[in-house]
Chain A
Amino acid sequence: MISGWLGLFFGCRGTRPGMSVSGLSLTMLLLFLSGPVAAWEFSGKIGVEDLGFFHAPLDPRQHSNYVSGVVETELYHEWDEGTQSFAFVPFFRYSQHDDRRTHFDIRELTWMKVARYWELRVGFRKVFWGVTEGLHLVDIINQTDLVENNDTEEKLGQPMINLALIHDWGTLDLFLLTGFRERTFPGVEGRLRTIPEIDQDSARFEKQGVQRHLNYAIRWSHAIGDWDLGFSHFYGTGRTPSIVPEFDENGVLRLIPYYPQINQTGLDVQMTKGSWLWKLEAILRSGQGPTFAAATGGFEYTLFDLFETGLDLGFVVEYMYSGASQVNLPTIFQDDFLTALRFGFNDVQSTEILAGVIFDRTSNARFYNIEASRRLGDSFTVDLEVRLFTGAPKSDPAYFFRQEDHVRAQLNYHF
């Protein structure tokens, strides 16, 4: 069973159309469709997006406006009184100009079996770990789909076998991750990117073959009173590449992603007390330069039903620290504060606004972020994002983004 999955997953790199896994998905789909066609659920969304930049690009090959479209559907079926299920979620985005952003992915292709004391999942999935808002340190199972959104919150589907053991003492998740996926980076014509662009096709790895592709993770999580706890360990090919600058034979600078073999231990804690959420995420990573620790934590305090208007006003304050060497792992959030306001209007259209700024404690670098969303009618939603970068010194990796202030607007139809 395992070797079968491995054989199919190896060599699935990048996310360009025509990846080898699509053959598998079709086979599985046909397999499942051949059964009784009862209670299949089909849903999804179709969206159009406009990504516009306020300033001229640093590279003349880049553009100031990008129109794109996205489709993500879900096919879902459950049987055996809900103790078994199958989900298939293909994803495709077409983007004007940036051929790297035009990409296909299998976000989910999972079979699940549930029992009293365990849950087994096999296939492509997304798994999220963590509690904080500004930075997700502990979350490591899935590769970031960076071309989809530069906020690192979009993820590529990760093939895996996941067994969760569920007892009074908490949940123990065991992961065998069967197939490493490389990070996606914007292409030559795309924005936001480094100058020059990341040379994705020349990616290097510390390990090859099975060692690169077979990764392991374990996580214990539990809720005890006001506390929600998670303790995890990951061993395998790091999801965040080091970026190696190199000059080729013509003296042209290239930026090459390098994926080392790492060990990462993570802790995530949230304490919920009244209107306060206290949060902490911490990691210890070895194998990517000198062993380092990184942590982020803070609070979210919410005034609910402000002046009896139904408005929730939340205050988010988080601090981010990273001890990673800038040579091995360029990090923007080394010693930074996030402050943000969250408005939840609790109206029929579910209007929400998150407005915040991350500022570097030592340099003058600031990153402003405003996200807003609401429903239009019953089936449409509109999302708006404004991101502004100011004051980054040349020594800060955020210096790459000095011209990259942008607004993103997306209209989605849900079915």
Chain B
Amino acid sequence: MNKLLLAAVLALFWGQCYALSDEEKGLQIMQEVDRRDTGFGDSSADVQMILRNRHGDESVRRLRMKTLEVIGDGDKTLSIFSSPRDVKGTAFLSFTHALEPDEQWLYLPALKRVKRISSSNKSGPFLGSEYAFEDLTSFEVPKYKYKYLRDEVFDGIDCHVIELYPQYEHSGYTREVVWVDKERYIVLKVDYYDRKDSLLKTQLFRNYQQYLGQYWRAGEMLMSNHQNGKSTLLISENYKFRNGFTDRDFDRNTLKRAR
């Protein structure tokens, strides 16, 4: 019985492969991106955020990011700020979900206060940077609808180019165009189009390194805003996987004492 079912599924699958629409092909590629990044368990990294305005003035934020993979749902993340010094100890806890609103708490060390905050803020800037909140949450397949556009060589690498249409509420984008490395199934570049469908930002992913023989992480991510001339560079260092994190490392008690 099971074998019959399997055969039927396989037949369907192969059948689709020959007459795959651009939507299905786009979805399949992004499912593969997601599949290859599944199973990392947990990770932590030290992140530097360098904000640059159009005159080249820089300001730096430092934070530590911890992530717990939640299979079948969005990841849990904890971000702990160490600079600028006036926000040292501020921490942000997020339980991300695909289409349901995320659950978010902010810890304010001066008041020793944990605040549950609204997660409707998707398009607003994160800490004055060119990253919006929605650019920093974990990638989940159901968050978007997809359309395969074309194949293209980017930076000497063969890529699939796919268009993503956000399906969650309050997004600042009509669409995102994503360049996916055909061999490694990792994202190399994203173009973001604003609500008026004009090009707003471009993000480049650089210095990829592979961890645990499978999972690729970019050492540098550069977000450039074409409309205001500002940019934000994210440098991630000291990536560590399989730290043994549990839900307990991502609760409101931990938020209050996170360093």
Task: Please give the residue numbers on chain A whose beta carbons come within 8 Å of chain B beta carbons, in ascending order.
Answer: 43, 45, 76, 78, 82, 85, 112, 114, 116, 119, 126-128, 130-131, 153, 164, 166, 171, 221, 223, 228, 270, 272, 274-277, 302, 304-305, 308, 310, 312, 346-350, 375, 378-379, 381, 412, 414-415
A312 to B121, CA, bound (A): 9
The total of Cβ contacts below 8 Å across the A-B interface reads: 101
Contact A272 B116 (CB under 8 A): yes
Contact A112 B257 (CB under 8 A): yes
- Give the residue of A119, A126, A346 whose beta carbon is less than 8 angstroms from that of B112: A126
Residues of A within 8 A of B253 (CB): 119, 164, 166, 171
A209 to chain B, nearest CB (A): 29
A-B contact pairs, 9 of them (CB 8 A): A112-B257, A114-B257, A171-B253, A223-B252, A272-B117, A302-B118, A305-B124, A348-B53, A379-B84
List the 5 shortest-distance A-B pairs measured between CB atoms, nearest first.
Answer: A414-B85, A304-B121, A305-B124, A348-B128, A275-B120
A312 with B124: in contact, given A128-B112, A274-B101, A378-B60 (CB under 8 Å)? yes
Contact B84 A305 (CB under 8 A): no
Nearest to A119 among chain B residues (CB) is B253
Nearest to B128 among chain A residues (CB) is A348
Contact B172 A305 (CB under 8 A): yes
Contact B101 A128 (CB under 8 A): no
Residues of B within 8 A of A346 (CB): 124-125, 127-128
Interface size on B, residues (CB 8 A): 37
B residues 73-91 in Cβ contact with A at 8 Å: 83-88
Contact A228 B118 (CB under 8 A): no
Residues of B within 8 A of A223 (CB): 103, 116, 252
Contact A153 B111 (CB under 8 A): yes
Residues of B within 8 A of A114 (CB): 257
Contact B116 A228 (CB under 8 A): yes
Q: Is B194 an interface residue (CB 8 A)?
A: yes
- A sample of 18 more A-B contacts (CB under 8 A), given A130-B113, A304-B170, A348-B53, is A85-B257, A85-B259, A114-B257, A119-B257, A131-B116, A166-B253, A171-B252, A171-B253, A223-B252, A228-B116, A272-B118, A272-B119, A276-B118, A277-B118, A304-B122, A308-B194, A378-B85, A414-B85
A223 to B116, CA, bound (A): 9
Contact B112 A127 (CB under 8 A): yes
A349 to B61, CA, bound (A): 12
Q: Is B251 an interface residue (CB 8 A)?
A: yes
A171 to chain B, nearest CB (A): 6
A305 with B121: in contact, given A274-B101, A414-B85, A415-B85 (CB under 8 Å)? yes
Contact A308 B195 (CB under 8 A): yes
Residues of B within 8 A of A350 (CB): 87, 127-128
